[in-house]
Structure 1
């Protein structure tokens, strides 16, 4: 153990010196500030992805106002946002990780470099930190020619961060540093004058001629703030509400701003000339300028850098329907951070101070992710999952569950505050980004499952809880789970008395498989670990992390993000604990969903699948597979909860359905599984089989997977096979990844389909013609066709999720084996003790027989005493006894009476027997009479 600990410490020390994966990977879209459904800024389109000539855009592709200027020795350059009044800086390089996009920009000729790093922290085990709706911009300057230079850096935002509509009027205020209060920063806060809580803006869609959401919330505040470090030589100034051109020219002339608030407010985001709409007359902006002074190669980093936070803050976040069938209530759910911070200013101050920790945690996650992705597949696959990560979290918001259910300690659905170390009752709300904005869509949560298993298993029960709680209220009439909790986020006001459920088979199967996955991600035991187990746990984790970061021992490294939450609680065990407790509480509800699948899923009616743009159709085999796997998941859930009758029942149903399904769906030529019953020309990409591989249930035989492995290359296009033969012009990136995981890792003698699917996915992520990430694509040319920036990108983690659950099963098997070994050892020790006891009894019994034969009376007890024979009052003389060294016998032996001593005495006539204590051989211990006879083993 000591050697293992020393090795782990040495490895950790080497890891601390190791650098992150530096890559030249430039994806379709470069995320900048991506933190919530309403804070999502990207560089979109064009292969070069240069900050200089591109405006950052919201995920809808509409522009945001985020621009920047660099002033070197009195000369000004545009470094962000295409400000053509000044010469363009050179975008020298770009670096992308799972949490950060970094750019290096220089003047021309290059004498100074500006490093601009956009960090949206990824801390998947620390959901409190993850939920904070702010992102970082870190700016640092560097002399390239060895000379000293005067350097100033400027950046600005505008009202387009709050709404697309330029006529919306803005209000603003300034926060100046408050020393010693936790609010040592300078910042500008802007908001729409007309606040409309829980309401998104709508506009007339030119294609459909319908009013549709712009996906911009008409509630909340935009914060743009800079850290103010006491004693720093960096001087930060601001402008609040002055016109954009006025503000930029002031900086270009002086290198600083006036730090005054324009009191002419409210004003529209932009005011244009009536007869020439291309000319903007007035645009209030919110700007920060950082004067680094004269920097040289000898200047310390803190004297030539600045830290900025940008965020979109709402409180409350979501309207949620709760209550019972006899009572409805809509409650306003507050953000998780409100449980710890008294106001937004304290939150911003802490967020800026927390930058080193957030950066370290994010870098560690990125390094581990790249190592794990390479271990299960390749470097290219690592790029795919890395660029998908921030998009997943953009759809999620954590709410503080102040309800009675949330306060009930038995629920245990919590996150942990990094400030107080205390658990906070929590639920996680999800927006179905882009497709229709639904709240808590079950078939959007399901594709994310692989990511949740790999990085953040506690999210599984926290995402399911709002659905469970609403379904248990009785407000929803249909039996299967609701498709979503509201037609448009942030209104989780549900579908009370909704008589026609949407995607019922899909959602019932998804809900059951999600529940099982949450329970199986780790050992859910809540028993306290012994000191030895805690040390072993730490050493194993440290060794694994060190090996993966250092790129060593790839075959043996553990896949999956490992971290502790709260007071040393492993986040995987916590996730499994919460999921199991949730399943136990909602067990009756889960059974209802399984019973629905038994009734409906073998011969599904005219239903849609998850990807409802394909339309509804009867007897879709993808739905049947989902139903079969949902039934098998119910059997496994019942098994884990000790419900043996239900376990056996649902196992039998799923097996019978499987057999009938295969009899009806294998094509006549034996090449593939039909897409619909009795249609020999139909086929689909059977991504739902992923659950069979994920849980290792072996519901479907290997012959099915070998058949599909050979089939998919025959229908593939450059960007993968279509999802459904009925619609040859559509594929889905999440399902390409799920389907890839059905087949073994590629080798000359193994799967061709795995390589096919993964190559198609990687090719799409390098497709520079697309403006944004879309999970719905054309398989022939790789165009994104709707479904933009959705969290289903978590499905790209399919191979990593598969590896994590395989490890969990191996851990469970090892634990079971160890338990059996301990049990066997205990039984062996008990058997040995019994054998020794029997031997002792036998020895004592043999002596007794001899005494009887010799007509001797009396006996000696181990640890007891002797009884005087013939005495009516059976008095006892105690003697202390221990086992002698080298001898299995008592130190006391009954000495034979000499014949001479018995002469003249009547047999059994009350005369005292003669006893003699004999010391055992080999120096045995002596004993004294008169002490309680307890044997010391």
Structure 2
């Protein structure tokens, strides 16, 4: 029997994890720290000490367990994530834990497909499971007790105990604003720190492995592997193991995972480090029994991932551990060349502009760990501090949960020696650099690194200017499926004429507001022709949009849309800023005058009689919708929308609130979390702001659907809608903070 379960590939793990505790002075609106072990897999639950399993009913507070003299169930700070980001760095390095407890559940790719990782600790000869869900075989381990999980913008930190020691396990996926060299690295850290907590000295070993499932979206894929030592100039001494599809398809995907490139699993060398590549049934028992690995690589390769399940394993003999911590450092990543294709040209990843080989990059990445910890901790503190000031502790928690997800939908490449960034429309259409998927996520980049937004815009504008795009309005995307930006020169795409034209202009204006004066002028003059073309299209079409598609395409086509018209009008106003940056003062005055004229007409046409709010569409009395497109009016300081209109909308939204948010419009009970935060930013001086923050926090904290932060969810039943998960649009959470940045 294999020491792992058969791979599970759920689209949506929907186990119930109980309800928030009502006691101890915490209301539903409090910063809840309720806990529970529900969702722990059967194997993992069987390993937990019986005292922990008997501690409390599901969902009871940790303090209640402590009063009964039993171990507290894990605490969550500042939020219990719907899924915990582990290695989340790029569209193809995106692994999560879909449970409260790290032990008892397989980590999985954002799709839910298993990307197996196992962790054991051996303390004075006793074996403890702390990561993954392998079936238990001799010698059977116990389970470490998970005490807490802390989530920051860049890391997920688990604290576990067992055998008199404490293990702090940190999954750090750096976000490196302003440093393209480091941001381009497709690797993520895993660090393990162990110390004694009972005043005694303990002999400790740590074991980690991953399976070949990280290398392909099809477990029947044949893979090959190798082990090597790397030590770049000035870098760390590292042992690394890599696995690669034996028959790669370059620029392809299978189940949203790349069909080419290598998974790289590495460890910083230290005394007592051993490694092995072989079947899970051979490698794991050897580590538990012998306290070391053989340093051998299975010669039966290439072979299918599910053929005796080859695993790639490290064992760290940490020796005798006292109160001073002993550490193990690993990294995991996915490297591939080329990175993407653009109009037939295969583009290298940007990291290749800085390193000759991935091996030297890995060595430098390990050497840079102290610096990365310092830089990312500073970023974590900044986001928590500034987000708390902008919207409170619950808002800061949402920002912490959103940042890695926003950046991981993107990656950096080199095009003719210049950096570009592409974005994948994760979990919806899979399109390449979709304008209306980039648009909602823009606030995260504005807050952390506005120049990154400029890199995302570069290929979108280049395609319209030089790539053969045939229409008078902006394109929807650069290719039907990532990573191939093959364009739509035949004009056959998902047209959103007003939507995408306005998106491109608003994003460009937002970039100009945040970059240097020199960069702003260069950008505005360089792209003025295409942006003016789209602005003139909006002048002719935005005030009363025709029957057409828009970003919330799951709601269907719509004519005379009030929210779409608002977006178009604000984009016309935004074009005045672009014209000013380009030195075209006459155009600037003309566009601003048009926007002011249109907004007055819009207010009149959109009013729902004497109801005191705005309609969904001009021709649909008795309707309403979230006017999230009011946010860029505040962001760009255009101040087009009368404040009395905004106040009336806020009052109306509060009257429409459900348990977990405000519906997107009158037709459904679902909403979009990114648009809720855009609305909160637009109405930042209205009480609805706090309701929107609280309700989105409650959804993220309590949803029984354990998938990476969904932006589309139901405001009544607390579950995601339509399978949306892990999408970079969640960067929209930063909208409120962007007004202060």
| TM-score after normalising by structure 2 | 0.87
Q: Determine if contact 1:478/1:500 at 8 Å carries over to the other structure.
A: no
**Which deviates further from its counterpart, 352-361 or 654-663?**
654-663
Q: Determine if contact 1:239/1:288 at 8 Å carries over to the other structure.
A: yes
Instruction: Give the superposition deviation at 1:181.
Output: 7.5
Q: Determine if contact 2:654/2:688 at 8 Å carries over to the other structure.
A: yes
- Aligned equivalent of 2:476, options 472, 483, 486: 483
- Aligned equivalent of 1:83, options 129, 134, 157: 134
Q: Determine if contact 2:230/2:359 at 8 Å carries over to the other structure.
A: no
Q: Determine if contact 1:429/1:439 at 8 Å carries over to the other structure.
A: yes
1:924 corresponding residue in structure 2: none
C-alpha distance in 2 between matches for 1:592 and 1:97: 42
- Aligned equivalent of 1:800, options 720, 737, 740: 737
Q: Determine if contact 2:231/2:360 at 8 Å carries over to the other structure.
A: no
- Aligned equivalent of 2:664, options 723, 726, 730: 723
Matched, 1:782 2:718: yes
C-alpha distance in 2 between matches for 1:452 and 1:358: 19
Matched, 1:120 2:173: yes
Matched, 1:690 2:602: no
- Aligned-partner SS, 1:113: strand
Q: Are the structure 2 counterparts of residues 90 and 501 from structure 1 closer, same or farther at C-alpha, using a change threshold of 3 Å? A: closer
- Aligned equivalent of 1:163, options 216, 224, 234: 216
C-alpha distance in 1 between matches for 2:486 and 2:233: 43
Q: Deviations over 1:330-360 (max 9, x none)?
A: 2111111101111111010000000011111
Q: Determine if contact 1:598/1:631 at 8 Å carries over to the other structure.
A: yes
Matched, 1:39 2:61: no
Instruction: Give the superposition deviation at 1:263.
Output: 1.0
1:235 corresponding residue in structure 2: 272
Instruction: Give the superposition deviation at 1:106.
Output: 2.1
Q: Determine if contact 2:208/2:314 at 8 Å carries over to the other structure.
A: yes
Matched, 1:144 2:197: yes
1:584 corresponding residue in structure 2: 525
C-alpha distance in 2 between matches for 1:499 and 1:133: 33
Q: Determine if contact 1:461/1:578 at 8 Å carries over to the other structure.
A: no
Q: Are the structure 2 counterparts of residues 93 and 720 from structure 1 closer, same or farther at C-alpha, using a change threshold of 3 Å? A: closer
2:312 corresponding residue in structure 1: 286
Q: Deviations over 1:4-54 (max 9, x none)?
A: xxxxxxxxxxxxxxxxxx935322221111011011111114xxx111112
C-alpha distance in 2 between matches for 1:579 and 1:722: 37
Q: Are the structure 2 counterparts of residues 677 and 177 from structure 1 closer, same or farther at C-alpha, using a change threshold of 3 Å? A: closer
C-alpha distance in 1 between matches for 2:466 and 2:404: 34
Q: Determine if contact 1:480/1:501 at 8 Å carries over to the other structure.
A: no
- Aligned equivalent of 1:771, options 706, 710, 717: 706
C-alpha distance in 2 between matches for 1:127 and 1:708: 41
Q: Determine if contact 1:52/1:90 at 8 Å carries over to the other structure.
A: no
- Aligned-partner SS, 1:466: helix
1:757 corresponding residue in structure 2: 692
Q: Are the structure 2 counterparts of residues 500 and 359 from structure 1 closer, same or farther at C-alpha, using a change threshold of 3 Å? A: closer
Matched, 1:346 2:286: no
| TM-score after normalising by structure 1 | 0.69
C-alpha distance in 1 between matches for 2:703 and 2:461: 41
Matched, 1:154 2:168: no
- Aligned equivalent of 2:655, options 694, 714, 732: 714
Q: Determine if contact 2:547/2:557 at 8 Å carries over to the other structure.
A: yes
1:222 corresponding residue in structure 2: 263
Equivalent residues in 2 for 1:866-905, closer than 5 Å: none
Q: Determine if contact 2:130/2:144 at 8 Å carries over to the other structure.
A: yes
- Aligned-partner SS, 1:766: helix
Instruction: Give the superposition deviation at 1:128.
Output: 2.1
C-alpha distance in 1 between matches for 2:528 and 2:78: 50
C-alpha distance in 2 between matches for 1:730 and 1:23: 27
- Aligned equivalent of 2:160, options 105, 125, 132: 105
The structure that has the greater radius of gyration is: 1
Q: Determine if contact 2:538/2:568 at 8 Å carries over to the other structure.
A: yes
Instruction: Give the superposition deviation at 1:219.
Output: 0.8
Matched, 1:738 2:681: no
C-alpha distance in 2 between matches for 1:700 and 1:320: 39
- Aligned equivalent of 1:296, options 314, 317, 322: 322
Q: Deviations over 1:487-511 (max 9, x none)?
A: 0000011111316661110111111
Equivalent residues in 2 for 1:515-914, closer than 5 Å: 515-521=508-514, 524-525=516-517, 577-726=518-667, 728-745=668-685, 751-772=686-707, 773-785=709-721, 786-804=723-741
Structure 2 stretches lacking a partner, 5+ long: 1-75
- Aligned equivalent of 2:485, options 469, 492, 512: 492
Q: Are the structure 2 counterparts of residues 123 and 255 from structure 1 closer, same or farther at C-alpha, using a change threshold of 3 Å? A: same
Q: Deviations over 1:720-751 (max 9, x none)?
A: 2211222x222000000000112244xxxxx2
- Number of equivalences: 661
Equivalent residues in 2 for 1:377-388, closer than 5 Å: 377-388=391-402
Q: Determine if contact 1:69/1:78 at 8 Å carries over to the other structure.
A: yes
C-alpha distance in 2 between matches for 1:620 and 1:292: 64
Q: Are the structure 2 counterparts of residues 182 and 363 from structure 1 closer, same or farther at C-alpha, using a change threshold of 3 Å? A: closer
1:831 corresponding residue in structure 2: none
Q: Determine if contact 1:120/1:136 at 8 Å carries over to the other structure.
A: yes
C-alpha distance in 1 between matches for 2:494 and 2:583: 31
- Aligned equivalent of 1:309, options 331, 347, 362: 331
C-alpha distance in 2 between matches for 1:636 and 1:341: 39
- Aligned-partner SS, 2:563: helix
- Aligned-partner SS, 1:458: helix
Q: Determine if contact 1:170/1:265 at 8 Å carries over to the other structure.
A: yes
RMSD over aligned Cα atoms: 1.7
2:120 corresponding residue in structure 1: 69
- Aligned-partner SS, 2:682: coil
Instruction: Give the superposition deviation at 1:579.
Output: 4.2
Q: Determine if contact 2:120/2:130 at 8 Å carries over to the other structure.
A: yes
C-alpha distance in 2 between matches for 1:606 and 1:376: 38
- Aligned equivalent of 1:270, options 286, 306, 310: 306
- Aligned-partner SS, 2:348: strand
Q: Determine if contact 2:394/2:693 at 8 Å carries over to the other structure.
A: no
Q: Determine if contact 2:106/2:114 at 8 Å carries over to the other structure.
A: yes
2:12 corresponding residue in structure 1: none
C-alpha distance in 2 between matches for 1:501 and 1:188: 42
2:110 corresponding residue in structure 1: 59
Matched, 1:447 2:416: no
Matched, 1:335 2:271: no
C-alpha distance in 1 between matches for 2:267 and 2:191: 10
The higher relative CO (CA closer than 8 Å, separation ≥ 6) is in 2
Q: Are the structure 2 counterparts of residues 702 and 470 from structure 1 closer, same or farther at C-alpha, using a change threshold of 3 Å? A: same
Q: Are the structure 2 counterparts of residues 462 and 178 from structure 1 closer, same or farther at C-alpha, using a change threshold of 3 Å? A: closer
Instruction: Give the superposition deviation at 1:224.
Output: 0.6
